[in-house]
Structure 1
Amino acid sequence: MTTAREAVAAAREAVTAPRALGLARTGRIADTLACTAYLVASLVLYRGLWAGGPAGRYLVDSGQDQHQWEWFFAVTARAVAHGENPLTTTLQNHPDGVNLMANTSMPGLSIPLAPITWLFGPAATWAIVLTGGLAATAAAWYYLISRHLVVSRPAAALGGAFCAFAPPMVSHANAHPNLAVLFVLPLIIDRLIRLAAGLRPIRDGILLGLLTTYQIFLGEEALLLASTGIALFALTYACVAPAAARAALRPLARGLPIGVALCGVLIAYPLWWQFTGPQSYTNLLHGPAGNDLAALTAYADRSLAGDIDVSARLSMNRTEENAFFGWPLLILAGAIAAALWRRALTKALVGVLVGAALCSLGPEIILDGEPTGISGPWRWFGQLPLYESVLESRFTMVCVPVLGILLALAAQAVRDAGDRRLWLSWCVAALQALLPLLPQPLASAPREPTPAFFADGTWRRFTGPDRAIVAVPLPDPSDARALGWQVDAGLGFPLAEGYFVGPFGPDRLGGYGAVTRPTSQLLREVRDGGAVPEVTEDERAQARADLAYWRADAVVLGPHANREALRATLDRLLGPGVPIDGVWLWDVRAGGAARAG
């Protein structure tokens, strides 16, 4: 039976021995080749976004999220340039504003990359964050696996590639960099391993606190998911290897409080602003969003073996294909677990895999679209603080690195066995499991041009300082093009309403978009239905009141499929508009009259 002293010695050897190997020349060459391959793979994935320059391309499957993210990058860069608070802005949802810390503005990258945004625009920042971030995520997992889990660099490279380019990661890579750019998480785990080894607990505790703080500024939801996976691993590992767990407690007890205290000090004000500042909200509610059980074994839309009809039926949308591992990979993972079951590490990884997968199924397990009547653990787990705001289907993202590590462990075990037949069998099985999952390049299309009214600066003639433009259709989660128009106008004016997360109702529950006013609701109905309504005098009075609330100087109708219906409705509400530089304009300033000349 392993004693506590032996467990500590083994943990220290696991930390120091692979590190010594990494200093070897062959190791450095392998590291360089792996990182280069990851970058090339990421560039291939985003080749459509880079074709002809990011400013002219749009990721088709991102919905309206690319508009939102480019706006986040642009407004943060503006705040840095003007010395403003990067945690809030009134450039959207004027005059109430947006709590940027309570949104996924990703200041951990949007602030340091502000010079890129200034020089090349937010579209370039968006492309760099996605492409570089996904490659960095693969490299970080490769580092963790090669330094702590396997000696074989090819085995580690395989694991790192899966961790970054698995179907759930590729799905979020369309639109959610906060859930796809995860290079800090493996570094946090690396520091926890070093802490448990007890080599330099104070230094490692400080670094852990700094890394955790930085991850909060990259994505809090990803940190919550990772923390849950780490907790599942720790609990399972403590059950299957109690001596090693007890040996790790003392150094962890020395270093963890230091990391927690440091992180708490650094993040205190931003979190205070997020949860109690202007436009903060209590939690983000949503309906049941668990994975269909059939999604675990199906293939994602962008996978080589994907079927768009199947993935559409089994997921919320193309940015939330959070499972889709395919039968062959799950069977292979089961075979690996059985072959390596004697290891405590394998048992702990399986515990995380099963626990996260069960949580992802939601409060009631659904099979191929049909409720089974069987409750999942999320029925109780999802009521915990913070977790009620998480889409439970995303818990399968915790499974991704577990599967990547199992693949790396298996490749190392096969290599160590030195059996050629076993090696050939492994290659065949791995190809059958992974080849169907290979991602296809993400779909992109030419970006719609911004109307000249915004791009050429005509808007300056019709709005004053701190006065808003009401862009029609008003920006919301279903149509956020106006955010791009505002960015191309240099963020020179605030917009009414928008696409963000903010408070709704007296309980300040989180929701997407602004609290709609009667006029914006009327215009949305016309936008979606195309029918011109009868407009009453009360609705005209309400329109004047809403414009006063928004502090608007101009109403601008941009391109839209139902543009004529929207123009007729606005004419009935506000009087005749005039065409000017690709838009229709209603000058609603006191005594204002729009002139095309």
Structure 2
Amino acid sequence: MEDGSAVAVLDRTVPKTVAPVRSRQQRVAHRLRLARADLFVATGYLSLAVLVLSGQWLNTNRGYLIKSGQDQTMWEWFFAVTAHKVANLENPLGTGLQNYPDGVNMMANTAMFGVGVPLTPVTLLFGPTVTFVLVLTLGLFGTAFAWYWLFSRELVTSKFAAAVGGVFCGFAPAMISHANAHPNFVLLALLPLIALQLIRITRSANTHKVRGASRSGLSGAGERSGGAEGGKNETPAPRTRRSEAEANKHSTRPERSGGQIKHSFILGLLISLQIALGEEPLLIFALSFGLFALVYYLHAPRTGLRALRGLTPTLLLAGVITVALTEIPLWWQFFGPQSYRSIDHGPMNNDLEALFQFPSESLGGMFQHGQNVAINPTEENSYFGWPLLLLVAMTTVFMWRERVVRAAALIIVSFTVLSLGANLMIGKHNTGISLPWKHLEDVPLLNSVLESRFTMAAIPAIAVILAMGTQRALEYWRISAVDWRPLAWFGALTLALLPLTPTILPVVQRPATPAFFADGTVRQYVSHGSVVIAPPPTPPDARALRWQTDADFQFPLAGGYFVGPTGTEKKGRYGPDDRPTASLLIRAQQANKVPVIDDAARAQALADLRYWQADVVVLPPTDNGDALRLTVDQLLGFPAQQVDGVWLWDVRGLLSA
């Protein structure tokens, strides 16, 4: 029987040891110590998450994460509409409150029903901004702790080593960047739980496992990394004094169908919940975990095939359960009103320089950010910094014999290369060098992923290497207090992670909602039609969604910020289809000049207002407002009136004539 000590995980030259038999009282005390460690780690993660978002927490009334662009407004609207629908017992999967009269397919817009629905009371009582920042905070904390839980149960024996891996998973540069605006890429706590369930299914499905033999993270036992196969070989004390032969006989019995159904149901439920939180992270995780498992079993293909045969029935049943739980929302997403087949983002790749630079919201970024090569402030999906990449590379070389490390290293390399897009960019210069993504960017499902986000698959892979390196250093220290290697490791780890320490995300004061909406005056001007803002809201300016929320959704809006179909091919696009009048108003505002208005423009304006089923056109305080007001005056043929801080044109009589 192979040794199962933590020392053997890290250095196979260490003498083999056997775990001592503990009494019941000792086992209880041991569990309490572990629970205290878990609580301490959880408290640290939660405190850090609150600190990062403290600027928003201190001002949930008018505070706004400035780097979010218009995304915070969009997400707050999603949460607010979901709560409004649930409170009124209406279908939350679609709504006509923006993009009137066509509406919006909420399921196709990552509305995060998995948190929006259960947090309805929070949204109704405290407002959507509180829900938004709460989801972001719980996302950072929950993602970190869930990965810590997986690492501490299945990868390493040291809680500290697992905590190092967990903190990187939860607070990596990409996570902090997305915490400005994208809760669907921050709340990723279910992904490690899915991984844990897959490991447990693999373990239970392997009917050839022998109790006490070598156990490994994705092998038949699914335990911690180490031993002859790269897994931790723990030798647990049996609860009875039965012989090893009896234990082996028991362990080779096939799992009962009830256990298989239980595993399938848990896995199906976890996947269904993740679909309700975000499908794009789930797709990236599935691809990376599948590649990890493939590489992990390359050295022993027969073992891998045996595990796959045992795993397949449970996975198929889990798939059936997932479909049963999600078939209605998924049908609505892909075939319901305002659904679309794919969305063309255009090139959204990482620049090679981004891999080695420090993120903007970090200690390193405060002093040495380098050239700005990110897509936008919310998509700093790599920015690992050269010290961390150097440490990971060196650790991989020294621990190459560990197959978990080999698999993790391949994930880092593969998904980082995919994130670089179809052509290699260095310092915003297109080198013309073709990359693998060029052959994958038109593959269904993949064609809707921002390729820059593929580096997020490298985050848990890097964390695995950091956790295992920390475990090895601690074990060397346990053997010899004067060993220089632990000091070297922790010094290098500090130099790698300290520059990536996140700073508090910047928050500004958003302008107050115009009294016309906040005081409810708008209700006097809306019969059964829509409110048309001049110009209608678009992704670059979605403030009107906030005004609609503050007016308690008493009216629908023309235009908006969402993803919907366009053209006969039903390709997705951000914002509504261009209407001629909306485009004219946008040009007038940008040029700060009244365009030439002829009879054709006036006729088109009336046609567009009829299409929007408009009751009133509203011009709130905005840039170049005088040019907009005069333009609308000429389009409609009568001047605006000022009411509660806005200019408005009541067009109900005009359109009914």
TM-score bracket for this pair, using the shorter chain length: over 0.9
What SS class does the counterpart of residue 507 from structure 1 fall into?
A: coil
Q: Cα distance, 1:384 vs. partner?
A: 1.4
**CA–CA separation in structure 2 for the residues paired with 1:446 and 1:404:** 36
Contact 1:201 1:252 in 2 (8 A): no
Greater shift in the superposed pair: 242-251 or 314-323: 242-251
SS in 2 for 1:239: coil
- Among 581, 587, 595, which residue is 2:650 paired with? 587
The equivalent of 2:578 in structure 1 is 516
Deviation at 1:312, TM superposition (A): 6.1
Distance 1:227 1:56, change over 3 A: same
Q: Which of 36, 42, 56 is equivalent to 1:49?
A: 56
Aligned to 1:429: 492
Aligned to 2:194: 188
Matching of residues 434-453 of structure 1 within 5 Å: 434-453=497-516
Match of 2:250 in 1: none
- Superposed CA deviations along residues 386-437 of structure 1, whole A, max 9, x for unmatched, are 0011110100000111111111111111111224422211111011101111
CA–CA separation in structure 1 for the residues paired with 2:609 and 2:511: 28
| 1:372/1:241 CA distance change after superposition, 3 Å | farther
Task: Indicate the SS of the match to 1:55.
Answer: coil
1:237-271 Cα shifts (integer Å, max 9, x gaps): 12134354234223312311111110011111211
SS at match of 2:342: coil
Shift of 1:208: 0.5
Say if 1:94 and 1:468, in contact at 8 Å, map to a contact too: yes
Q: What's the CA shift for 1:529?
A: 2.2
In structure 1, give the amino acid aligned to 2:47.
V
**What is the one-letter code of the residue matched to 2:582?**
S
2:568 is paired with a residue whose SS is coil
Matched, 1:458 2:464: no
Which residue is 2:413 aligned to? 354
CA RMSD of aligned residues (A): 2.0
Query: Partner of 1:268 in structure 2?
Result: 327
Aligned match for 2:404, one of 333, 345, 352: 345
Match of 1:152 in 2: 158
Letter in 2 for 1:168: A
One-letter amino acid matched to 1:146: S
User: Structure 2 vs 1, CA of residues 309 and 458 (structure 1 numbering), >3 Å: closer, same or farther?
Assistant: farther
Match of 2:465 in 1: 406
User: Which residue of structure 2 aligns with residue 238 of structure 1?
Assistant: 297
Tell me, what secondary structure is at the counterpart of 2:165?
A: helix
- CA distance in 2 between partners of 1:558 and 1:201 (Å): 60
Instruction: Choose which of 281, 288, 292 in structure 2 pairs with 1:222.
Output: 281
The aligned amino acid for 1:131 is: T
Check conservation: 2:606, 2:655, Cα contact below 8 A. no
Q: Determine the C-alpha separation between the residues in 1 that align with 2:30 and 2:377.
A: 42
1:132 corresponds to 2:191: no
| 1:298 alignment partner, one of 349, 353, 357 | 357
> Which amino acid in 1 is paired with 2:559?
E
State the secondary structure of the residue aligned to 2:92: coil
The one of 350, 354, 376 aligned to 2:435: 376
Deviations 1:74-115 (A, max 9, x none): 111111011111110000000000000110101111011011
Q: Can you list the C-alpha shifts for 1:42-82, whole angstroms capped at 9, x where unaligned?
A: 1100011011x312210000000011000000111111011
> For each residue in 1:110-155, what CA deviation from the matched residue of structure 2 results, as whole angstroms up to 9, or x when unmatched?
0110111111111111111111121111111111111100111111
State whether structure 2 residue 148 is matched by structure 1 residue 142. Answer: yes
Deviates more, 1:306-315 or 1:580-589: 306-315
1:278 aligns with 2:349: no
Distance 1:337 1:591 in 2: 72
Deviation of residue 450 (structure 1)?
0.1
- In structure 2, distance between residues paired with 1:76 and 1:84: 9
Secondary structure at 1:54 match in 2: coil
Provide the C-alpha distance between the structure 2 equivalents of 1:533 and 1:361, rounded to a whole number of angstroms: 43
CA offsets 1:6-53 (integer angstroms, 9 cap, x no match): xxxxxxx9xxx9xx89971111001001111111001100011011x3
* Structure (1/2) with the larger helix percentage: 1
2:610–2:655 CA contact under 8 A, matched in 1:
no
Whole-angstrom CA distance in 2 between matches of 1:398 and 1:472: 42
Deviates more, 1:104-113 or 1:524-533: 524-533
Q: Give yes or no for the alignment of 1:112 onto 2:118.
A: yes
**What residue is the counterpart of 2:183 in the other structure?**
177
Alpha-carbon shift at residue 338 of structure 1 (Å): 1.3
Residue aligning to 2:450: 391
- What does residue 209 of structure 1 align with? 268
Q: Is the 8 A contact 2:140 2:170 kept in 1?
A: yes
Q: 1:309/1:424 Cα in 2 relative to 1: closer, same or farther (>3 Å)?
A: closer
Q: Contact between 2:371 and 2:427, CA under 8 Å: does it hold in 1?
A: no
Letter in 2 for 1:521: S
Deviation at 1:279, TM superposition (A): 0.5
Residues in 2 aligned to 1:315 and 1:209: alpha-carbon distance in whole angstroms: 36
Cα shift readout 1:502-542 (whole Å, capped 9, x = no counterpart): 01111111000000211101111122222211211211111
- Report the 3-state secondary structure (helix = DSSP H, G, I; strand = E; otherwise coil) of the residue aligned with 2:298: helix
Q: State the distance in 2 between where 1:250 and 1:283 align.
A: 34
1:474 aligns with 2:480: no
Q: Please list every run of 5 or more consecutive structure 2 residues that lacks an aligned counterpart in the other structure.
A: 3-17, 206-258
Counting only pairs closer than 5 Å after superposition, residues 493-572 of structure 1 correspond to structure 2 as 493-572=555-634
Cα separation, 2, equivalents of 1:113 and 1:376: 43
Note if contact 1:290-1:392 (Cα within 8 Å) is conserved in structure 2: yes
One-letter identity of the residue aligned with 2:48: A
Q: Which moved more, 1:413-422 or 1:353-362?
A: 413-422
Q: Distance in 2 between matches of 1:313 and 1:83?
A: 47
SS at match of 1:124: helix
In the comparison of the two structures, how many residue pairs are matched? Answer: 576
1:308 and 1:479 map into 2 onto residues whose CA distance is 32
Which consecutive unaligned segments of at least 5 residues does structure 1 have?
A: 3-12
Matched letter for residue 410 of structure 1:
G
> Which residue of the other structure, out of 41, 54, 58, is the alignment partner of 1:34?
41
CA shift at 1:308, angstroms?
Answer: 9.4
Q: Indicate the structure (1 or 2) with the bigger Cα radius of gyration.
A: 2
Alpha-carbon offset, residue 475 of structure 1: 0.8
Letter in 2 for 1:440: T
Alignment of 1:308-327 (within 5 A): 313-327=372-386
What residue in structure 1 maps to residue 101 of structure 2? 95
Q: CA contact under 8 A between 1:301 and 1:308: conserved in structure 2? A: no
2:642 corresponds to which letter in structure 1?
P
